[in-house]
Structure 1
Amino acid sequence: MEKLFVNGAPQPIAPFSHACRVGDLVFITGQMPTVPETNEMLLGTFTEQTHRVMQNLAIVLEAVGSGFEHVVQSRVFITNMGHFEEVNGVYASYFEDPLPTRTCVGVTGLAGGADVEVDMIAWVPPAE
């Protein structure tokens, strides 16, 4: 098992690693809409926040040698299910069919005042 802290990804706001690799799977901590350059939370629209979250996930995926095409499962947390379709549209734009498995959970709040958080499990293919 390897616990990973990714340079260039947003700094954690709690005690955790960005990812933990076990064999050829990587478990990625839920990413928030944090701007990596400033480490400030982007508190814009659900669309803006979802794009930032997915961009942060892309940073971690790339750093561990994976990508959205290798995501096996994800969990989406949103503070207002009235924005479910809006978040889905942005989320889906980062993938090609077939999509990974997914759970979406409506929550009463997220750290830092965010409205969107996504975590993932991805396969890490052998290095070429």
Structure 2
Amino acid sequence: MIEKLFIDRAPQPIAPFSHACRVGDLVFITGQMPTVPETNEMLLGTFTEQTHRVMQNLAIVLEEVGSAFEYVVQSRVFITNMGHFDEVNKVYASYFPQPLPTRTCIGVTGLAGGADVEVDMIAWIPPSQQ
């Protein structure tokens, strides 16, 4: 069974999608943007500020579905300027315990809403949360 999830506390979508889809004990989380949940406005600050906001938005979704950063198995990071690769990595890594999940980083020419950072994830939901 596929359960499509909309998270009220998370930023509202700027396109037609669910925040997450749960299949068994895995959850597939839509790429989060640096959108401030309280105002639904895009945070267009530095790469560091945007990455923190993206990771905070992912934390909201992870919590709502019964998972956490420690259970992330794979993620993809999209950034508009690979010159900020190290800056984004530093913030990204600070949200995870060691060892880190698998990851792909993709340099893109643009992201929705003018954002510079987007991250999506696949995470495990432990039995105690199911």
State the distance in 2 between where 1:97 and 1:21 align: 25
Amino acid at match of 2:62: L
What displacement does 1:96 show? 1.1
Runs of 5+ unmatched residues, structure 2:
none
Give the TM-score normalised by structure 2: 0.97
Query: Share of identical aligned residues, percent?
Result: 88
What is the aligned partner in structure 2 of residue 15 from structure 1? 16
Amino acid at match of 2:91: V
What displacement does 1:127 show? 2.4
Which deviations, in whole Å up to 9, do the C-alpha atoms of 1:77-100 show, x marking residues without a partner? Answer: 000000000000000000111100
Q: What RMSD in Å do the two structures reach over aligned CA positions? A: 0.6
- Map 1:1-128 to 2 at 5 A: 1-127=2-128
State the distance in 1 between where 2:99 and 2:8 align: 30
User: How many equivalent pairs are there?
Assistant: 128
State the distance in 1 between where 2:33 and 2:107 align: 15
Runs of 5+ unmatched residues, structure 1:
none
Give the TM-score normalised by structure 1: 0.99
